[in-house]
Amino acid sequence: MRYDIIGDVHGCFDELAELLRRLGHRVDGKRLDTLPGRQVVFVGDLVDRGPKTPEVLELIMDAAARGAAQVVRGNHDDRLALYLRGWPIRSAGSIDSSLRQLAHRSVEFQQQVMDFLGSLPPRLLLADGELLVTHAGDILTDDEAARAEFNVNSARTGVVDEFGVKELVDWVSEYAGEHFVVYGHETVLEPLHRARTLNLDTGCVYGGRLTALRFPEMQVVSVAAHAPYATAKRWVALQAVRS
């Protein structure tokens, strides 16, 4: 099996469909048909901020049910699933756009979304152990709960960075695992390859790009966002530095 691993989608359905077609797959309405011998893998954060979260979910949920796609759980996916289950969550405002869009869908569909997002694993080990896909990174520990929490949310140092955002733990500098790790979560202007890791979150929802890695070919493919749908301090600061 070969894999096309796609970064944080955040409800950007049109860009997702364009990227999948550029990769050679077929997207017809709510159905994704992949190339023979290839599977699409998502690094999580399918939902929130973008304009078409339900459409993204319909496409990916159907593909996952047929074995055409796999998904790991992102922090936004986790929050939405918990909220739909009735759990109190922090940063509830971050899921407002998803809730507004899902309000126009049936209760049955909302239940399906809750079950799907709640069932997503914190990481996937693929390609006979050569490839590890997770949303926010990985740590080596025997504490499975702690590792899963880090996979989904990472951790923060408490230091405020130059973008005015609480700094994420630099897990890559300490990573000593045997796998090549593909992840997202922290927005970068371009795919960031450090040591045996690759960050694919290139800020599509902010007006950046939606990016995929073809594995094992190690080919990066991306499409430009059709519009900026949201903003964030870090993205604004990154753009300012580039300018």
53 contacts 101 by C-beta, under 8 angstroms: yes
Residue 163: its pLDDT value, please? Answer: 67
- pLDDT greater than 90 at residue 158: no
- The pLDDT tens digits for 181-210 are 999 999 999 999 999 999 999 999 999 999
Residue length, the chain? Answer: 243
The average pLDDT across 209-215 equals: 98
- The pLDDT tens digits for 122-131 are 999 999 999 9
Residue 166: its pLDDT value, please? Answer: 78
Q: Tell me how far apart the alpha carbons of residues 177 and 191 are, in angstroms, rounded to a whole number.
A: 20
Amino acid identity of residue 234, one-letter, is R
- pLDDT greater than 90 at residue 93: no
- pLDDT greater than 80 at residue 243: no
Q: Tell me how far apart the alpha carbons of residues 178 and 109 are, in angstroms, rounded to a whole number.
A: 39
Amino acid identity of residue 84, one-letter, is L
Closest C-alpha among 88, 118, 84, 119 to residue 98: 84
230 contacts 206 by C-beta, under 8 angstroms: yes
- pLDDT greater than 90 at residue 156: no
Closest C-alpha among 82, 100, 104 to residue 91: 82
Residue 7: its pLDDT value, please? Answer: 98
Amino acid identity of residue 46, one-letter, is L
pTM for the predicted model, two decimal places? 0.95
Residue 91: its pLDDT value, please? Answer: 61
Residue 129: its pLDDT value, please? Answer: 95
- The pLDDT tens digits for 10-59 are 999 999 999 999 999 999 999 999 999 999 999 999 999 999 999 999 99
Q: Which residues contact 189 (CB under 8 A, 6 or more apart)?
A: 202, 203, 208, 238, 239, 242
Domain edges within the chain = 2-242
Residue 205: its pLDDT value, please? Answer: 97
Residue 239: its pLDDT value, please? Answer: 84
The average pLDDT across 159-164 equals: 75
DSSP code of residue 203:
B
DSSP 174-230: G---SSEEEE-SS--SS-EEETTEEE---BGGGTSEEEEEEETTTEEEEEE-SS---
Q: Tell me how far apart the alpha carbons of residues 215 and 219 are, in angstroms, rounded to a whole number.
A: 7
Amino acid identity of residue 180, one-letter, is F
Run of H or E including 199? strand 197-199
Name which CATH class applies to 2-242: alpha beta
Q: Cβ of 134: how many Cβ atoms within 10 Å?
A: 28
Residue 92: its pLDDT value, please? Answer: 58
Q: What is the mean pLDDT of the chain?
A: 94
The token pair that represents 39 in the structure block:
């599977």
DSSP code of residue 173:
G
